[in-house]
Chains A and B, each alone.
Chain A
Amino acid sequence: MVDADLLIAALVLLVAGAIITTVIARYRRLCGYVAFVTALIAAIWVTMVAWQALTVGPVQARVPLLTITELGSPLLFVVDQLSAVFLLITALIMVCTTLFSMRYILIYERYSLARYYPLLLLFFGSVISVLSVHNMLFFLHFWEFMTLTSYVLVVFHWVNPDSGPAGLRYFIATHVAMVCMLIATIIVYRQVGSLEFAAVREAIAELTVTSPATVHLILALFVVGFATKAGILPFGFWMPDAYPAAPTAASAAFVGTMCKLGVYGIVRFFTTCLPLSHFVTTWGIIIAVLGTISIFIGTITALQQTDSKRLLTFHAIGQTGYMWLAVGLGLALLRISPAVATLALLAGLFHTVNNALFKPLLFLNAGAALYRTGTRDMDKAGGLMAIMPVTAVTAIIASLAIAGIPGLNGFVSKWLIFQSTVVGGFELPVFVFLGIVAIFISAVTLASFLKFLGMLFVGRLHVSPEVERREVPLTMVIPQVTIAIFCVLFGVLPILVMRHLYTAVSAILPSGYSPAFASLFGTSPLTVNLSLSGAPAGAWGPIVILVAFAGCLALAYLIFRMGGARTREVPMWLCGEEHDFAEVRYPVHSFLLTFNRYFAKIYPSIPFAQLARPTAVLKLLDIDRWVYDPMFRALRWIMRGMSASHTGLPQFYMLWMIVGAALAVIVLFSMAGGL
């Protein structure tokens, strides 16, 4: 039996780790070990708490750590099933990225690690905190703290001319988003005078009757806030610059945790803080549409990239779109169809979990390639499978997973999302079209990752001569393999994962709302037999299908071997001519050029407008110029005039005395009533 004290202990440990790594930042390797051990222990503790919450029930700290009485806000750590899901992901990513960092970060030789490890640990601490508070004030507090720490990581490489503007955009965009949420929170607070999620729910319930427009405003502000963090277009415009700018391990951490908090925020806010009403339906549709826009624009733009990390970042935008689509669909149908809503929310959560696995893995792959080759440009390096086979295999697994190839985890969640869009389409037809976009983009994703794989990993080795020709160090291989194993595991045994996610989904919905797990997904432990309202709607039995596929593969192998053909290595055939490989290598940007031309303008790059100096307005505001200076001059002029009478000649002073005396006499007489 564990309780939330362990969570607090983990947070304290992370803070302590941050302090220690700051102190010993000079010892670069030691610093890495300390950070890793800290993260590992903290992750184990967080996992224990989260697992307890997921399997037994919500875990709550006994007393609040502190209370802001004025705002009615106790800082109480609560881990419920939904938080637990995200905490488990965070724990895994935390361990993997810190382990990966140990060697990786050494390539930044001239940069102090005091700006890396402490911030990374604090970042994870803030993510964990965001996930385990049920109070708007502290939610926003830790949320913004997370922005701060991640911002410092984004500008880690700050001499690089790209990273400054990237960090600037990032922080300003997310800060504005936070301000949006703050405004919404304050509106709510004015209503009830408390910031607990439950109180927020009451406040909004009141407002739905008294002032629907206000509710829409609140929801809009929150959606903008979460969309900005999650990287949903058009609010996530900062993302393609910011993620590549950070050290890759940190990018992996962002994409595995922070990016997913946008989804967490939406689910949490719309289920816990919002009473079930037509607002949920309306905003569910808006969320789904926003998600679909991101899916489309993000992924299509990814297809045009030649920088590996930028490509991955655009995919992060697209993938988050999938989660938003599913979650939006679930929310939109909450009032209409419990079964489909549960299915869609589960699909969204599952995709979030899966994405938090393969997306960081891809970033780690790209990071490993960067570590070895020193470039992110896929034109300058390629065919790395020849020198780093393990990394390449994990990259293939991750790429196929994100593209949704059956047998890997990405397929299951995408499959659930498509299912829910099609069946959701019976209720709200717009979702079928969104689903079609999602399926189409799924193919684009595949195309894009085939390009990523084809250019960077498979194919002929193409690196500069000074590159060391061996696999990356073990500390970088282990995290990649670990996550890859999870990708395969979740892909083969989806039903086990889905059971736990179902617990989370049914816990955030009103009790008794969701149909029983067995009635939705069947009773088989190996096959997902999806059925809605009793009728079968779809099926995915990974074990059976994969066994059959293996059988087909064996058959293929038999046929392959049937003729007893011998193998011989030959040089590449270039129609009889001889060329150096570098000469004939197909450039990345030419790949898929025809297709990309159709969508070349889809992601406009908007430069920061250079503000012109509005001279006229500035003059107007310069009060000195037209108020004080003239007043001062006038005063001086009067003084000058008066001083002109003081000429220095005694006769004049005599004259003044006589005039003065005469005046005095006249005044005195008049006062005495004489004359």
Chain B
Amino acid sequence: MTFAINIGLALLLGPLLAGVVRKMIRARVHSRQGPPIVQPFYDLFKLLGKEDLESGPGLVLRYAPMVAFAAILAAALLTPMGLRPPLGGYGDMIVFTYFITIAVVGVIMTGLTSASPYSMLGAGREIMMHLIVEPVLIICLVTAAIKCGSLLMWDMAASNYVNGPSISMVVAAVALFLALQAQIGKLPFDIPEAETEIMGGPFIELSGPKLALFQWAFFARQIVYASVLAAIFIPWGTGFALPWNIAAHLLKVIVIILLVGLIDVVNPRLRIDQAMTYFFGVIFVALVGMGFALIGA
């Protein structure tokens, strides 16, 4: 059952919330009407039926999108979404981060295989962003692990709920939120794709179902990241009975996504070096949080 909940939430809630953000936030900020809330689904289905254009050699390019998509779903299966994650007993936070990484590998491989200068540029940026953003996630999760003495994600969530907030967890939550924008590829950090600049970067040669898979995977990724932040670092509601804990979790996720959407709309894109400087700062904040955890605060 939890399998279905996690997969379902990731696959369905992702595009839906994206639609909500577009309709309710972006369109409103732009002072326009905006598309219907389910527009992302329309786009996805349309793309799935479109012709699949291949410009590079087969194998890697053909399967990289599927691998990225599947990796995000697998990460979703490891993420606590109000309930004990379905695969929680078989993989811990390190496994989780590596599945996230596999998705990034899928993106980069696509870019590299396309071999267009734009896609290579995008792939390079994707790698650099990953290099600089992933440490934040890891440090924050390690902070949580130090607090609870286990690397299993559900243990972290439960422990944080039981023990209540602490300085280190708050700092970690802040750091993670500061990095969230980049982790899910939103402005001001959508540097690898940068539609207006390098025309989608790694995805420049993609069309049809491949592009659809990537887009869907990214919608799902938002939910996964938001869930990690919500479940582990903002654990209120975890202790409720069955339907309510999921509801509480959903509420937190929705709030986070809307916030992210708002930031996305009101910010211009940074250059990659500006982004890196910013994230060195965020990493420092995260390390401070971990330092607090190590001294027991």
Contacts and interface: CB of A to CB of B under 8 A. Distances in A.
B165 interface: no
Interface in B53-110: 53-57, 59-60, 65-67, 69-71, 73-74, 77, 87-92, 94-95, 97-99, 101-102, 105, 108-109
B273 interface: yes
A145 interface: no
18 contacts: A405-B101, A411-B98, A432-B146, A446-B101, A450-B123, A458-B60, A538-B152, A541-B89, A545-B91, A556-B65, A556-B70, A564-B49, A567-B54, A568-B52, A572-B115, A575-B199, A584-B117, A586-B121
Interface in A521-542: 527, 529, 535-541
A541 B112 contact: no
A459 interface: yes
B105 A450 contact: yes
Interface stretch (A339-347, A546-554, A611-619, A649-657): A546-554
B135 interface: yes
A447 B88 CA distance: 28
A307 to B, nearest CB: 19
Contact of B94 (A415, A450, A561, A571): A415
Contacts of A560: 48, 65-66, 209-210, 213
Given A450-B109, A454-B108, A415 B95 contact: yes
A595 B276 CA distance: 8
Q: Chain A interface mostly helix, strand, loop or mixed?
A: helix
A433 B124 CA distance: 27
A443 B133 CA distance: 10
Interface stretch (B137-145, B172-180, B227-235): B137-145
A643 interface: no
Nearest to A415: B94
A443 B101 contact: yes
Contact of B95 (A450, A540, A559): A540
Contacts of B77: 548, 552
A440 interface: yes
Contacts of B70: 549, 552-553, 555-556
B87 A544 contact: yes
B171 interface: no
B51 A568 contact: yes
Interface residues of A, number: 84
A565 B49 contact: yes
Contact of B90 (A459, A539, A562, A591): A539
A97 to B, nearest CB: 28
Nearest to A462: B115
Give the 10 A-B residue pairs with the shortest CB-CB distance, closest first. Answer: A454-B112, A541-B90, A563-B48, A563-B49, A552-B70, A586-B120, A552-B73, A538-B151, A556-B66, A553-B70
Contacts of B146: 422, 425-426, 432
A453 B95 contact: no
Interface of B: 7, 45, 47-57, 59-60, 65-67, 69-71, 73-74, 77, 87-92, 94-95, 97-99, 101-102, 105, 108-109, 112-117, 120-121, 123-124, 127-128, 130-132, 134-135, 138-139, 142, 145-146, 149-152, 155, 199, 204-205, 208-210, 212-213, 216, 272-273, 276, 287, 290, 294
Nearest to A418: B94
Contact of B294 (A385, A429, A581, A598): A429
B42 to A, nearest CB: 13
Contacts of A545: 74, 87, 90-91, 95
Interface in A434-488: 435-436, 439-440, 443-444, 446-447, 450-451, 453-455, 458-461
A436 B57 contact: no
A385 B60 contact: yes
Contacts of B88: 539
Given A404-B98, A544-B90, A568-B52, A447 B205 contact: no
Contacts of B124: 590-593
Interface of A: 383, 385-386, 389, 396, 400, 404-406, 411, 415, 418-419, 422-423, 425-426, 429, 432-433, 435-436, 439-440, 443-444, 446-447, 450-451, 453-455, 458-461, 527, 529, 535-541, 544-545, 548-549, 552-553, 555-557, 559-575, 581, 584-586, 590-595, 597-598
A593 B94 CA distance: 28
B87 A548 contact: yes
Contact of A574 (B60, B67, B95, B116): B116
B174 to A, nearest CB: 18
B123 A454 contact: yes
B278 to A, nearest CB: 13
Nearest to B55: A572
Nearest to A575: B199
Give the residue among A536, A538, A584 with the most B Cβ atoms within 10 A: A538
B190 to A, nearest CB: 16
Contacts of B55: 569-573
Contacts of B105: 400, 405, 446, 450
A586 B109 CA distance: 15
A405 B121 contact: no
Given A385-B59, A422-B145, A586-B120, 7 more contacts: A406-B95, A419-B151, A460-B115, A539-B92, A548-B77, A573-B116, A595-B276
Give the residue among B115, B116, B131 with the most A Cβ atoms within 10 A: B115
B135 A439 contact: yes
Nearest to A591: B124
B150 A536 contact: yes
A533 to B, nearest CB: 9
Contact of B276 (A432, A455, A555, A594): A594
A593 B128 CA distance: 9
A450 B127 contact: yes
Contacts of B114: 572
Contact of A435 (B51, B109, B131, B142): B142
Given A454-B109, A573-B204, A540 B69 contact: no
